[in-house]
């Protein structure tokens, strides 16, 4: 079976899982007081309005989002990239500047890495080393609540514009979200106060359904979603039946928001901390007593999102 038929997520679950000493449903690797993350993408997976600085910044944020959402303080950032020898050196330097600036923004040191030649568009990978802010976390159980930061759909706006050949408008905040994504640094400070309150934190990068599905399999329970907070212009497309909710959820990704699974009995402590640190969160569902699956308003919902071997599925 070819990878494009199997898909990235199935490949991870059925193949990679046989060779690693960790749960592949968790987006970071933790061993004792060390948390590691590596993430990357082909340079062709970028929008025409992005420059090389944006690529470097975004590559760091893609990996940093996993650490911050999980609750780990980033310490060192390393890069590995392959570029065409025909690329202007000033553009390559712009990418390095983006990597360096993003690392500094999150309090980490950029330690360089590896440079390679590529015959096609090239690629970039970022690895980050950090320390967890919590030694232990409570176990997620049925009845616990699920929250997400911010609103979803900003990147979807750009993806709809691109895939439709410009038939959909390109919102300015969609451009900003893709060119210069930012994770709220206050999430780490909140994590330090919520070690007995938050069972799990993870980011939204391949679409919210993909992220929720990973959480469900990691905690061993289902998740029932009652509300998906969308930005106003995307919600309007759904309300006017221009684009279905299913299509919106399918064509999401690179949101870099955070999903929290919170103990129900201490949810007021969680909300108070989020308010004090200026982190906007919305309750979207709860953990249910079922096999790992995603439900939308109590009905089982097929998982859609981004897959690096399949594309949007």
**Residues annotated within a binding site for Mg(2+):** 23, 66, 114, 203, 206
Q: Per-residue DSSP letters for 126-185? A: EEEEEEES-S--PPP-TT-EEEEES-B-HHHHHHHHHHTTSSS---HHHHHHHHS----T
**How buried is 264 (Cβ within 10 angstroms: 0-12 exposed, 13-18 middle, 19+ buried)?**
middle
Using alpha carbons, select from 166, 204, 167, 198 the residue that is nearest to residue 183. Answer: 204
Order the strands of the 109-117 sheet from edge to edge.
Answer: 29-31, 34-42, 123-132, 72-83, 109-117
Please answer whether residues 33 and 129 qualify as being in contact, where contact means their C-beta atoms are separated by less than 8 angstroms.
no
Alpha-carbon distance 63 to 285, whole Å?
A: 26
CA atoms within 13 A on the CB side of 143: 6
Taking each helix axis as running N to C, give the angle between helix 186-193 and helix 267-276, from 0 to 180 degrees, rounded to the nearest 10. 150
Handedness of CA 177, 308, 204, 62 (dihedral sign): negative
Q: Which residues pair with 277 in a beta bridge?
A: none
Binding site for ATP: what residues are annotated?
A: 113-114, 139, 205
CA distances to 186, 265, 267 from 276, in Å:
10, 19, 14
Using alpha carbons, select from 121, 101, 108, 96 the residue that is nearest to residue 67. Answer: 108
Binding site: what residues are annotated?
A: 23, 66, 113-114, 139, 203, 205-206, 254, 306
**Parallel, antiparallel or unpaired: strands 72-83 and 109-117:** parallel
What's the chain's length in residues? 313
Using alpha carbons, select from 72, 210, 209, 233 the residue that is nearest to residue 151. Answer: 233
């Amino acid at each position: 079976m070819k990878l494009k038929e199997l898909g990235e997520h199935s490949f991870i679950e059925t193949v990679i899982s046989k060779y690693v000493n960790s749960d592949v449903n968790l987006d970071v690797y933790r061993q004792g007081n060390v948390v590691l993350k590596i993430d990357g993408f082909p340079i062709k997976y970028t929008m025409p309005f992005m420059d090389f600085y944006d690529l470097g910044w975004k590559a760091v944020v893609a990996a940093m989002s996993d650490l911050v959402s999980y609750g780990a303080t980033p310490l060192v950032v390393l890069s590995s990239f392959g570029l065409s020898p025909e690329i202007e050196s000033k553009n390559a330097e712009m990418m390095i500047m983006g990597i360096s600036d993003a690392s500094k923004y999150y309090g980490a040191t950029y330690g360089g890495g590896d440079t390679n030649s590529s015959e096609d568009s090239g690629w970039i990978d970022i690895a980050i080393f950090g320390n967890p802010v919590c030694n232990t976390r409570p176990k997620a159980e049925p009845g616990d609540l699920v929250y997400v930061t911010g609103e979803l759909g900003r990147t979807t706006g750009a993806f709809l514009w691109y895939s439709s050949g410009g038939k959909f408008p390109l919102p300015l905040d969609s451009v900003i979200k893709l060119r210069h994504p930012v994770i709220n640094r206050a999430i780490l400070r909140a994590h330090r106060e919520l070690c007995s309150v938050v069972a799990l934190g993870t980011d939204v990068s391949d679409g919210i359904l993909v992220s929720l599905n990973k959480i469900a399999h990691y905690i061993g329970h289902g998740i029932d979603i009652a509300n998906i907070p969308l930005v106003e212009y995307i919600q309007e497309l759904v309300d006017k039946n221009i684009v279905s909710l299913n299509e919106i959820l399918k064509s999401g990704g690179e949101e870099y928001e955070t999903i929290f699974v919170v103990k129900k009995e201490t949810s007021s402590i969680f909300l108070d901390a989020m308010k004090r640190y200026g982190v906007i969160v919305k309750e979207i569902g709860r953990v249910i007593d079922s096999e790992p699956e995603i439900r939308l308003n109590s009905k089982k919902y097929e998982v859609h999102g981004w897959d690096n071997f399949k594309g949007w599925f």
